[in-house]
Structure 1
Amino acid sequence: MNRGALNVKINNLVYDMIKSKISQIYNKSIFFKEKNTISVSVKTRDSISDMTNLVNIIDRYKKFIENKFYNFILFDGALIQIFYRFKEDEIVEHRLAYVPSSITLTSEECYNESIIGMIDMIKDDKIELNKRLNDRATIRFDFDRNNSSEDHPASHLTFISNSCRIPVCSPITPNGFIRFILENFYNFEELLCQKIDIDIIKKICNMKYKLFDKVISDDHKKKLHINYDL
């Protein structure tokens, strides 16, 4: 899959999510030229590094929103971040992240109010903050073709700790990533209560798509790992 086709897939996916009403806030993915590579994202690689270094989960979440580092925001405030990097038409890196809101928010608070304003207001009320503080971990699929070793699989799943790297058989496509998030962190009854178009969500989850080539090493195959064939 070349970078042009992938960018179209990302933006079509965003369109379907907006149409289903599971999201109402989004940014279009575009191309960034960085040295001898092309990134497909909403932000440059360097600017992403600056934002992800924040330790406090509330500050990091706020920074992502302030800098519009998301492809779309789900009805519960969770952010979806999609970043790919290509050298010519070969994928060399990706960062696909599901970032739950650090503070529990309703869909009305996400869409009808300023999310940053709501978070600041809740932070100032210690009782309300204790009720709403959400420590759900970010789920991130990383791929780096040029960085593979025994403790760092080229493609891996990371959560809770940066040293957690569960091997994944190949780079993940945008559709595969969104399907993983929808199937594992949401259920149809919850979505129906939010008046979300379930038919569109089912279409996204059942969509067939071309996979990237497998990159998992023989050593990583001997460990507990993620393998799939959709």
Structure 2
Amino acid sequence: MSKKNTKKNKTIQNLKNEMMNTMDILYKKKLLYFYNDVKIEKRGDIDVITWHNHVGGRANCGKSFTTLNQYEHILEHGSYTCLMFDGSILRSSFEFKSNQLVGHSHLWWPSPFGYNCKINPDEAPLDMYENFICDDKWYDNINMRTPIRIDYQPDDASERHPAIHMHTQHHECRMRVSEPLCFNKFIKYIFDNFYSHLDIELSELEMFKLNYDKKIVSSYMNGTSMNL
């Protein structure tokens, strides 16, 4: 095996190990209800770190972003990296060519129901969701929060489509982000900004160094960008 391939495999495996270790930490802190094993697969010359059970369909398309159908679709098929203590969904994927990052996608899909902000351990999350939807007074228990998706798509970079951007509120909203995010940085961003009332300590999470094309990222940074 060449040195180049050894380095590539080490990068992929180290990132997977970091993700699994972080989810174990969160689970022990009772911040996760469940987490899946991280999947590594090959797509041509691209190495992919992703979640299990990719399922297609209209619920996965861009226009379904923010719809309850998308939340239900992901939950029903277990197409996520981990499920949070309150029913919110987290999922992340990375694409590498050799050891260079060429794409990522991080999604936080907040739980739409607010039953004491915690999943009942005696009731499956999908059952809780279905009970919420079927309740005649569902509107008394709804949490109206937008999903957050942060994508790194350097091949599609343009003035209207920043290489790194955040989707929120609407599928065509793309807010510039200053740099790609490793898994731990995404996790900290979510907890720091949407669960700050819980005063969660995550100082033990280290940031994984990502190698990416800084020239492409900086080419379309004339507008305001977010430092996450």
Task: Tell me, yes or no, whether TM beats 0.5.
Answer: yes
TM-score by length of 1: 0.82
Structure 1 segments of 4+ aligned residues over 4 angstroms from their partners: 48-51
Taking the aligned partners of 2:203 and 2:126, their CA distance within structure 1 comes to 31
Taking the aligned partners of 1:47 and 1:164, their CA distance within structure 2 comes to 24
Q: Which structure is higher in helix share?
A: 1
**What is the 5 A alignment of 1:68-107?**
68-106=78-116
Count of residues in correspondence between the two structures: 215
Q: For the structure 1 residues 149 and 26, does the alpha-carbon distance in structure 2 shift closer, same or farther, using more than 3 Å as the test? A: same
Which string of whole-angstrom CA distances, capped at 9 and with x for unpartnered residues, describes residues 147-169 of structure 1? 11110011111111122111122
* Unaligned residue ranges in structure 2 (runs of 5+): 1-9
Taking the aligned partners of 1:134 and 1:108, their CA distance within structure 2 comes to 13
Which string of whole-angstrom CA distances, capped at 9 and with x for unpartnered residues, describes residues 189-210 of structure 1? 536xxxxxx55x3433xx3543
RMSD, aligned α-carbons: 2.4
Taking the aligned partners of 1:223 and 1:164, their CA distance within structure 2 comes to 14
Aligned counterpart in structure 1 of residue 148 of structure 2, from 139, 142, 160: 139
* Unaligned residue ranges in structure 1 (runs of 5+): 192-197
**C-alpha displacement at 1:108, in angstroms?**
5.2
Matched to 1:136, the amino acid is R
**What is the 5 A alignment of 1:14-33?**
14-33=23-42
Q: For the structure 1 residues 209 and 110, does the alpha-carbon distance in structure 2 shift closer, same or farther, using more than 3 Å as the test? A: same
Q: Answer yes or no: is the 8 Å Cα contact 1:75–1:110 preserved in 2.
A: no
Identity across matched positions, percent: 23
Matched to 1:93, the amino acid is G
**C-alpha displacement at 1:38, in angstroms?**
2.0
Which string of whole-angstrom CA distances, capped at 9 and with x for unpartnered residues, describes residues 2-22 of structure 1? 222211111111111112111
TM-score by length of 2: 0.83
Taking the aligned partners of 2:89 and 2:181, their CA distance within structure 1 comes to 18
**C-alpha displacement at 1:109, in angstroms?**
3.3
Which string of whole-angstrom CA distances, capped at 9 and with x for unpartnered residues, describes residues 52-93 of structure 1? 227372221121112112221111111111111122322111
- SS at the partner of 1:17? helix
Q: Answer yes or no: is the 8 Å Cα contact 2:175–2:225 preserved in 1.
A: yes
